[in-house]
Amino acid sequence: MEQFISPKLVAQAIGVSESSIKRWCDRGLLQTVRTAGGHRRMTMNSVVEFIRSTGQLLVEPQLLGLPADTGRGETSLLRSRDQLTQALIEGDETRARKLVFDLYMAATPAVEIFDKLLAPTMHAIGERWAQNSIEVYQERRACEIVLRILFELRTILPVVRADAPYAMGGTLSKDPYKLATTMVELVLREAGWRAESYGTDLPLCTLGAAAIHMQPRLCWISVSCIEDVPKFQAEYARFAELALNSGIAIVVGGRALTEAIRREMNYSAYCDTFRHIVQFAGAIYRPIVNTSIARTSEPTSHSEVPAAFPSRDILSAN
Ligand code: B12
């Protein structure tokens, strides 16, 4: 659900005057709606995009529901890795959340945060679990914390257009791994797709039914474990025939898809990073970019708003 906020609150959050915010609204730099009484209101998503793209300092981020001190921490993906691994192992959700939001608010795309921070961090935690240097509960708790952060991040990603192409996906029967499919949903949404993960443990026949009912342009399957390979291959073959014949692109990924297994499968793309699926999706569909917003108004002084206003914001323009 979209959340609307007032110019006054945004002004307090980023430490500028309310009149500056109103001026930016009127110039189209901040996407604005009017209440019945004529007052300006902004969506949380467009405010977040504005802050990310213009590099505004967050003075009181908590007013926007962001972690306190967001924007004043680590902005290097590499340096964040050890800190995040430690925070997750210790179950320090506040710190973990802040590390991710600092990067996102510093304009790091979610896809990079997932490929270069969250996935390697979870891999490192898996290694520690395998070496018995952490307890099982620490690994499970880390996974739950990351899931909560992902759900929160979803609420501030640019709003996708109602006419954007639809993508769906999930994991198959007896595959409980939720993080990768959730991340795929988010990176596709960030790329302007109406993407929905249907979660985990989906029999291939129900994914086929969903493909018929929902008519997606793209269906992804994340495969982290396969219980019975011949059974998987037989069911997958039926699903792939149905989907590919209906013009649905199938993207597969995940650690269980070895080369030998993949060789027997039909699909449109195999991806081993989130960046790959975004690139593949971009080849099928590019979001409509309304460049008129960037330069229609009178010149803006550099002290007010940095010149480059992003095309990304247009994704939230619906
Ligand atoms: C969390 C976790 C679990 C949780 C998952 C909970 C949940 N709700 O998701 C639970 C508790 C279920 C679990 C269980 C088990 N786990 Co586990 N688990 C992990 C852990 C730590 C993280 C997994 C994760 O989410 N990673 C983050 C995601 C983003 O990374 P990823 O899955 O590798 O995906 C990458 C790519 O493959 C790609 N990708 C994946 N899917 C897709 C899909 C598309 C479309 C695209 C584009 C890309 C893509 O994107 C990512 C980019 O890097 C991993 C460690 C690891 N290496 O990942 C161990 C790990 C996978 N688990 C392991 C083991 C051994 C188990 C158990 C057997 C433990 C046990 N004895 O019970 C069970 C088996 C469960 C089963 N049915 O198979 C081993 C597997 C070893 C092996 N050789 O296969 C690992 C590697 C730990 C280790 N280092 O030993 N686990």
For residue range 202-258, what is the model confidence (pLDDT) as tens digits? Answer: 999 999 999 999 999 999 999 999 999 999 999 999 999 999 999 999 999 999 999
- What mean pLDDT comes out for the span 106-116? 94
Confidence band for 313, pLDDT divided at 50, 70 and 90: very low
> Do the domain assignments include residue 63?
no
> Do the domain assignments include residue 225?
yes
Q: Is the CB of 124 under 6 A from ligand 1?
A: no
The total domain count for the chain is 2
Asked whether residue 137 falls in the same domain as residue 235, the answer is no
Nearest to 151 by CA among 140, 143, 139: 143
Lowest mean pLDDT among 49-53, 59-63, 291-295: 291-295
Whether residue 43 is predicted with pLDDT greater than 70 in this model: the reply is yes
Asked whether residue 213 falls in the same domain as residue 257, the answer is yes
- Nearest-CA residue for ligand 1 atom 20 is 126
Q: Is the CB of 119 under 6 A from ligand 1?
A: yes
What CATH number is attached to the domain comprising 103?
Answer: 1.10.1240.10
Compute, in angstroms, the gap from residue 177 CA to the centroid of ligand 1. Answer: 6
- What mean pLDDT comes out for the span 123-137? 94
- Domain around 233: 166-284
Q: Is the CB of 184 under 6 A from ligand 1?
A: yes
Confidence band for 59, pLDDT divided at 50, 70 and 90: confident
Cβ(167)–Cβ(196) below 8 Å:
yes
Whether residue 179 is predicted with pLDDT greater than 90 in this model: the reply is yes
Compute, in angstroms, the gap from residue 215 CA to the centroid of ligand 1. Answer: 29
Q: Is the CB of 251 under 6 A from ligand 1?
A: yes
Compute, in angstroms, the gap from residue 86 CA to the centroid of ligand 1. Answer: 19
What CATH number is attached to the domain comprising 257?
Answer: 3.40.50.280
Instruction: Name the H helices within the chain.
Output: 7-14, 18-26, 44-54, 77-90, 93-105, 110-113, 119-130, 136-156, 179-190, 204-214, 229-245, 259-263, 274-284, 292-295
Asked whether residue 170 falls in the same domain as residue 128, the answer is no
